[in-house]
Amino acid sequence: MALRSQAWCAYVALCVPLLFPPDGPRSAAGSRLSSDAQSGLLSQYDLQYYLGVRAYFQEEWEKAAEYLEKSIATRQSLLRTRRRCRDECAAAGSDRLHRLDTETGSMWDLWALDWIQRQAECIRFCLGRAVTPAGQLPVSAAIEYEFGTRNPYNFLQFTYYQLGKASKAASAAQTFFVANPSHLEMRNNIEKYRRMGEVTDDAFTDREREPERHWDIHDSALHAEALSDWERAVENWKDCVNVTLQQLEDCRAQCVVSPHEDFLPTQLEHLHTAQFKAGDLRGAMQTLRSLLLFYPSDPGALGNLRLYSASLGRDAELQNAAPSLEISRYVNRSLLEKKLLYFGVENLDFSFSDPDLWTPEDIVPESLRKTWRAEKEMLRERLNEDEREETDDSGFYAGGPVPQVGVTIAMDDRSLNGTNRVVLDGVLSQAECDAMQQLASAATLAGDGYKGRQSPHTPHEKFEGLTVLRALKFSQTGMVNQSDARLLHEVGERARTLLHSYFRSPSALFFSFSHLVCRSAVAGHQEGRLDLSHPVHVDNCILEPETRQCWREAPAFTHRDLSALLYLNEDFEGGEFFFTNKDAKTVTARVKPKCGRLLGFSSGPVNPHGVTAVTSGRRCALALWFTKEKHHRDMEREEAEGLWAADGQSVVKEKTKDGGAAPASSRSGRRQVSAGRSKEVKREIRRDEL
């Protein structure tokens, strides 16, 4: 929903949960909060949130900001208080624990319940000293969802904008967007805040970053692995394990089950590999023994253990390396907790879904094992399906800023149903599109870029193309305007800057090939047409739809890393771009061309694509391919730039010391790890269009 001001639009969610029943105590809410504040105890953050949202829709902006901020601060204080009380009460009932190791049957049950009750009484007394009785009550699932998705910041960003506090609005917008990266309207809001003079880069901070710190460390560890920086990877994975253990303590304090299956064992696997690669056999042995606490019969881990034993020979100290003490404590406590939880499931009508695959069967009561095995198998199948999902090894991470005024994100990965895909609108003005089309009409040559073949993909269409160098030479003879030739070069640079920033490329991007191309329907040859303007293909590998494989070998352009199309017109029929799965049949997304629309995507096997038949008119676009490999850069384009420079004319071109596009800062995305690029030195001469 857009709430409009005189200057621009910001967006907020439509859905606001019903926090209280219609006949609930609304009139007394403010006075109740006032009395709680006087007592110094933490009040109900859901009530504060309700008052803030109500003030928001009544456009009482000062009051809305006050209550929304209070609800956020109160919730954070409540979470910290719960954690403190749990820590203070950790020893409560500990004198009962030793009895759990010896008692069985009903006596074990009684001692376990006595231990739990003593801890619960201690925690309740601790909370009572800091939180009002109402504040201790659980909030509704709707409120948990609102705060879990950071929706209070959604309301806050527009509230602060209305109050003229742009920096605070930017911070709230950034905080909401981190948890909702597919929210296109908020992303566009952030770009608008960036263009405000009074808003600095420091304003774009994630106010909820600390609870998510383990993901930052996790991403840093994956990035170090991708760079084969094993010593740094070891340090990062150690930090990640330690922070994850702390986060799991927070989950216990809040009575929340971790939603990430086998998260800790997976980190230990990464740490073990990094330690081995870094030559730290002592650390690798200890981590391996820690991992065996989760999976004591894992054949791979046991095989590695035998290998270490053979390699270490008589080094008794290393041979007898014990598991990490912290991991041992975690596993022992987890097993005891699971035993209690399954006791509750069996005897107290308690609901519990075990998120771990490593739980041993003897922990589960006999009466529950059949159901437990079925749930475990379903979980394993789901994890295997996730592993089979196609991942993009391009090293690009969609979601960076768009550094051009007036350019907006029309479609992203989510709306395009894929990875590293984007559609940007407003890249060209209508006047620029008209000038480019005029250039195409005056100078494109039939079959240019296709070894002279006028109809390279279908006999029903004619293809014409023009490169920057050829446009320059035509301008020198007066065949086309020099300004139009320079515009062809400049819009390519503009597209590179936008895509380099949005895809957060960690390295320079070089033009591999750029080509102004128009495809026209051949009159009298369109009736009953069933073919495509361009068959489904992948830009840097040979797609084999039958096996769903993509072979990265010649004659494919294996050096291409990023592909783009900058559309110039829409006055034609057909010619729609589409993405498919690797079967080349299942269409996953469609993009309709129009003036100034830039489509960008990584060139690898995650993005098979094609173009529907152009059945009427002429479809024109600037096709662009980029590479990270300098020796595969477009030499014709550089020749044109050299000729302009020799003639005393500057060209619009952002450079690094290597001559590529200036790199932008990036935050790595999960499940996307950089990989080495194919290094084919031989230059390709075949040209292929999108």
- pLDDT, tens only, 207-238: 988 767 777 788 788 878 877 889 999 999 99
Residue 672: what pLDDT?
35
Pairing of strands 510-521, 461-466: antiparallel
Q: What's the whole-model pTM score?
A: 0.53
**Beta bridge partner(s), residue 411:** 423
Per-residue confidence (pLDDT) for residue 145, from 0 to 100: 87
Contact (Cβ atoms closer than 8 angstroms) between residue 379 and residue 482: no
Known catalytic membership, residue 282: no
Rounded to an integer, what distance in angstroms lies between the CA atom of residue 177 and that of residue 207? 11
Residue 448's alpha-carbon distances to 236, 463, 515, 635, in angstroms, are: 51, 8, 9, 17
User: Residue 106 is encoded by which pair of tokens?
Assistant: 């009903």
The CB density around residue 239, as the number of other CB atoms within 10 Å, is 17
CB 168 within 8 A of CB 160: yes
Successive 10-residue mean pLDDT values, the chain, 690 residues:
36 36 44 62 91 94 95 91 85 68 60 76 89 88 88 94 94 88 75 87 87 76 80 92 83 62 84 90 89 89 82 66 88 85 83 82 89 82 58 85 90 90 96 94 70 67 90 90 92 94 87 92 76 88 84 86 96 93 87 96 94 92 94 91 79 52 36 32 33
* 485-486-492-498 Cα dihedral, nearest 10 degrees: -150
pLDDT in the model for residue 505: 81
Q: Give phi and psi for 624, each to the nearest 5.
A: -135, 135
Q: How far apart are CA 516 and CA 512, in angstroms?
A: 14
Closest Cα partner for 623 from 519, 522, 505, 543?
Answer: 519
Q: What would you report as the CA-atom Rg of the chain, rounded to the nearest whole angstrom?
A: 31
Q: Residue 158: CA atoms inside 13 Å, Cβ hemisphere, count?
A: 24
What's the pLDDT score for residue 103? 53
Distance CA 458, CA 651 (A): 37
Of 619, 637, 677, 687, catalytic: 619
